[in-house]
Amino acid sequence: MSYLRNDPTRFTDELTAGFVRANGDLVRRVEGGVARRTRTPETQVAVVIGGGSGHYPAFAGLVGPGLAHGAAMGNVFASPSAHQVYSVAKAVATPAGVLLSYGNYAGDVLNFDQAQERLNAEGIPCRTVRVTDDVFSAGEDEREKRRGIAGDLVVFRVAAWAAEQGRSLEEVEALAARANDRTVSLGVAFSGCTLPGAEEPLFTVPAGRMAVGMGIHGEPGIDEVDLPTAEELAHLFVDRLLAERPDGADRVAVILNGLGSVKTEELFVAYTTIADLLEGAGLTIVEPEVGEYATSFEMAGASLTLTWLDEELEQAWRSPAYTPAYRKGAGGLDLAAGEQVDEEAAAEEAAAEEIPPASDDSRRAVGRVVRAITAIRETIDREADALGRLDAVAGDGDHGIGMQRGATAADAAARDAADRGAGAGTTLALAGDAWADKAGGTSGALWGAALRALGTSLGDDAAPSAERVAEAVAAARDAVTRFGKAEVGDKTLVDALVPFTDSLAAHVGNGEALAVAWRAAAADATAAAEATADLLPRLGRARPHVEKSRGTPDPGAVSLAQTLTAVTAVLAEGGDE
């Protein structure tokens, strides 16, 4: 559990503030995360990394000379929003372009991809390398589905080295991708971890047992075995990873990583056997790292990462770096080099978004829009713990907390928009942006995209009629399926959203009033959400735990149905104010 905290909902904001205060000689705070204190040289590709908080030193601790130029910081165990990634990238971008790199999780993919699209559309060249080193999360024939764990460090190091060599964006991308292809990891856990403010761990491991193949977001292991000795664990690690040794590989970078509660002294006990086994297999170990590099709060666990080196990758692995949490051969770096950023001028660029004009009819409807979002927030507040327990069956247990953060931010943003004279469409769009920024993760991104699409379709020029609302809901559905790539049957919120959209359109088409049509459609969404208990997940963090998910409805579908039902009462009210 976390012992030092104030309001759990402000945990990430407060840790970021403290991190920057403690490391102000190296980093500065930017919207969405942190960046190097100095500007990126004009001819150098900027390497932007990121992911959820709760993994220190990943990701903010790896920003500095010889490593990343910026890090987007999501909430605990939740990906940063697309806007956060975009903002960090803009703060460090140069004409040479931006390389985005992060662990391969659905929420990160969704948000980083949206940020990449926006950067490219603005004329800033942008490429991506996803880290896929976790051998237990998918087979060799499905490497693109593997998760990213402690192998992140290798890929980030290689990308940053190539960037600081002045290589082109295409060359930086290619070398980072090669590092990823030649990196494998395996993790184990002896206990689960607990989110700040939560009373229970995200998962537990029975006494005398060890979970094998868990992720770094509190996901339970894919397998479970008897608790081994340090020597036995070393054999498990090395035997499994050597199975993917490429032909001709004879030099290897090694990271033995502690996940939070297993301390470095314990790792050294295991490392002796690991080194013996690797050298016994004819491998030369190059500058091994033993310590904490990608953690999961107080999870008791460890992971082993191997990178099969070639001449170029070895040069990158040996190169100097100087960051708040990772320092290597710093004598080879000019730490004073680079133009200092004018932080006051940079802050002025982040001015509040201007509210566009709206018709009187649209502004009159805003009161009901705000009450609907408040009803959603109240419902999520009430159901957050239950949603978290539902998510913990096969996921990482943070769905309720993430939804709570998103709904709270959306409620505040909607009220602010209304006070500033926004129309219904703009109010919904700004609420969606706030939801995505604060919730993070896959569901945060999808809810943000849905609310923004809903608002954009409704617009600010007229009162939202039943027909226009049905069309706007269809636009929201299209946004969710386009960005999330999910289909009905994948066991996601789409399994409730599509039936709701179809039902609403049908009832409105029959001439029913919006409140009546919405109530019927919400009932259909609820039934569809309950029916997801019979499905097996094909996307997201629950995918590696398909059998554990059987018999349990999808938390995203359930929370969507709950919120749609909550809006029913608001629509049944008289008047628009």
Burial profile 193-212: b = 16 or more Cβ within 10 angstroms, e = fewer: bbbbebeebbbebeeeebbb
What 3 state SS string does 449-468 have? Answer: HHHHHHHHHHCCCCCCCHHH
* Angle, alpha carbons 526-527-528 (nearest 5°): 90
**Nearest CA to 225 among 246, 251, 206?**
206
Residue indicated by tokens 């094909």:
538
CA 113 to chain centre: 12
CA distances from 424 to 222, 358, 450 (A): 46, 8, 15
Half-sphere exposure of 224 (CA within 13 A, CB side): 12
Q: Name the active-site residue from 83, 217, 399, 507.
A: 217
C-alpha closest to that of 58 among 148, 161, 159, 129: 148
Alpha-carbon gap, residue 332 to 321, rounded angstroms: 8
Long-range contacts of 499-507 (CB under 8 A, 24+ apart): 499/524, 499/525, 499/527, 499/528, 500/473, 500/524, 500/525, 500/528, 500/560, 500/561, 500/564, 501/473, 501/474, 501/476, 501/477, 504/469, 504/470, 504/473, 505/470, 505/473, 505/474
Q: Which amino acid is at 108?
A: D
545 as an active site residue: the answer is no
C-alpha distance from residue 238 to each of 78, 221, 245 (Å): 30, 18, 10
The identity of residue 475, as a single letter, is A
Catalytically annotated residues: 217
